[in-house]
Structure 1
Amino acid sequence: MATTLTPRTLFISDLHLGTRDCQAVLLSRLLRRVRPERLYLVGDVIDLIAMHRRAALPAEQQRLVARILRLTRSGCEIIYIPGNHDAAMRRLCGLKVHRVSIERRYIHETADGRRLLVSHGDEFDTHVRMAPWLMALGDGMHQFVLSLNRWCNKTRSALGMPYWSLSAAVKGRIGAAQRYVEQFEQAALHQAAREGLDGYVGGHIHQAGFRARDGVLYCNDGDWVEHCTALIENHDGQLALIDWQGRVIEHEPVMATQASGVLAGA
């Protein structure tokens, strides 16, 4: 029987509900195992852009929404930070709807006292230097690779094989995509440092990971279209990335201040 995980905080983003690429079944499986005290929905939860073209919310996605809302019954606090694909929800920022607080951005304090800026991350797009034609080409290629990803995993599922992200594997080999990610990370780190914060948590770019610079920590929780990852904070304040099965795939890097604290207590 699978062990139930009870982190202090769970961060998820980029579900893109309303699209065929949303991995609702995998996220539902994770939420059956993970019972956080606080849940951050860090943008692009509902893809209102896609639903404007074709309004559809399949049964498995409806069940996922119901499961998320049920978390509040057990005392879980939910904070929803709309992204660029659900930007219309930003009109509701400052309100609480069905026990879900809607915020434009949030300052999260970890159990070990660190203050982290939480936002979707689309505000940093203006800091990324890339030609418009290349951005348009990249978006078209991304949609094509996502369609291949769907067919690849339908075949794997029929063969009894676990989920694997073809799209993530392809993007990891494209230099322009990696440069985009690096510029985004630098912009987020700069913003957190400028505000005197200890770090940043976001989504948007569908690339999970940690980075550290000058004592400031960058965290990206990934997405539920390609990578199927989430960010958790444990009760000691430490952060880690987990996959859809709840397995830790990466721990936050040890910062210089953390290392000196450990040595001082030795």
Structure 2
Amino acid sequence: MKNNSYRTIWISDLHIGSTQCQADVLLDFLKYNDSEKLYLVGDIIDFWALSKKMYWPREHNTVIQKILRKARRGTHIIYIPGNHDENVRDYDSYIFGDIIVKNSDIHTTAGNKRFLIVHGDEYDTIAQHHQWIAKLGSDGYDILVELNRVIKAVRRYFGVNSHFSLAAYIKYKVKNAVQFISDYEENIVHTLKKENVDGVICGHIHHAEMKEIDQFLYINTGDFVESCTAIVEHFDGRLELIHWTEVNHEDVID
């Protein structure tokens, strides 16, 4: 597979330090995709998970080393903290190992579109006002991810595509979960569309999306837990949603 080169890449919700992280797929993505600028859009290191159980396999260390190596070789890397790594927000504008921390940022594409870059938990009423519910939901999510490992192993044994997410399947089938995604998207757009930006690029809800809502571009990077997705900007300013496990290049915004 040839290396891909982009003007900008956005990835979020890696959850390094938790059993959720698909480090092998993430390393594969980092190996074959380079960019002038790389945004880490929150929940990069899962301090919630680490506070309950120390989990740091070799592959997770390799991910950190790979990102730091990109920074040393000239990739401009901006770390936007999320709710699972919210302690990093105390270091707004600090530089660590050639990586700059920013609680939010404005990115201007080659096509002169301005995007606000945030993790997105700031616009999630549950995460903001009922953190205990958010943490309880995170525990339930962990259980689904562990069950999914068993399902993937069985599917692999029978020769069926093993890229399956039980959590994502349930999320898209349960009415309340679907409504939560819709409410989140509408809330973030309603809050930001009066700002001097053309759109928002965020993460947080593990649901990759590129769409226009009320003439405002809503773009969600997805995650490297369920869908293994990223947003990339081509050198002509086009934005694309990449499903790395499928190497799917169908969703493009000019």
TM-score, scaled to structure 2: 0.91
Question: In the aligned structure 1, how far is the partner of 2:75 from the partner of 2:64?
Answer: 15
CA distance 1:136–1:20, change in 2 (3 Å): closer
The number of equivalent residue pairs is 253
- Please give the root-mean-square deviation of Cα atoms over the aligned residues, in Å: 2.5
Shift of 1:149: 1.2
C-alpha offsets along residues 98-147 of structure 1, whole Å, 9 cap, x if unaligned?
0001000000101100000000000011289x999987875554333222
Give the whole-Å Cα distance in 2 for the aligned partners of 1:51 and 1:132. Answer: 17
Task: Give unpaired runs (5+ residues) of structure 2.
Answer: none
Structure 2 partner of 1:98 = 97
CA-CA distance at 1:157 after TM superposition: 4.7
**CA deviation after TM superposition for structure 1 residue 250, in Å:** 4.0
Identical aligned pairs, as a percentage?
37
C-alpha distance in structure 1 between counterparts of 2:69 and 2:133, whole Å: 42
Provide the residue aligned with 1:42 in structure 2.
41
- Moved runs in structure 1, 4+ residues, more than 6 A? 130-137
- The aligned counterpart of 1:174 is 174
**Structure 1 counterpart of 2:241:** 241
Distance 1:18 1:145, change over 3 A: same
Aligned counterparts of 2:126 and 2:113: Cα–Cα separation in 1: 26
- Residues 141 and 49 (structure 1 numbering): CA distance in 2 closer, same or farther, change over 3 Å? closer
Alignment of 1:1-266 (within 5 A): 2-126=1-125, 139=138, 141-157=140-156, 161-245=161-245, 247-253=247-253
Q: TM-score, normalised by structure 1?
A: 0.87
Aligned partners of 2:79 and 2:45: how far apart in 1? 11
Query: CA 1:25–1:237 in structure 2 vs 1: closer, same or farther (change >3 Å)?
Result: same
Are the equivalent residues in 2 in contact too, given 1:30–1:245 (CA < 8 A)? no
Could you tell me how far 1:74 is from its partner in structure 2? 2.5
- Are 1:209 and 1:241, in contact at CA under 8 Å, matched by a contact in 2? yes
CA distance in 2, matches of 1:41, 1:184: 20
Query: Quick check: which one's strand share is greater?
Result: 2
> 1: distance between equivalents of 2:166 and 2:103?
32
- Rounded Cα–Cα distance in structure 2 between residues aligned with 1:54 and 1:236: 44
Is contact 2:120-2:202 (8 Å) kept? yes
**1:48-84, CA deviations, whole angstroms, 9 ceiling, x for partnerless residues?**
1111111221101111111111111331110000100
Moved more, 208-217 or 142-151: 142-151
The separation in 1 between residues aligned to 2:166 and 2:79, in whole angstroms, is: 29
Deviation at 1:227, TM superposition (A): 1.0
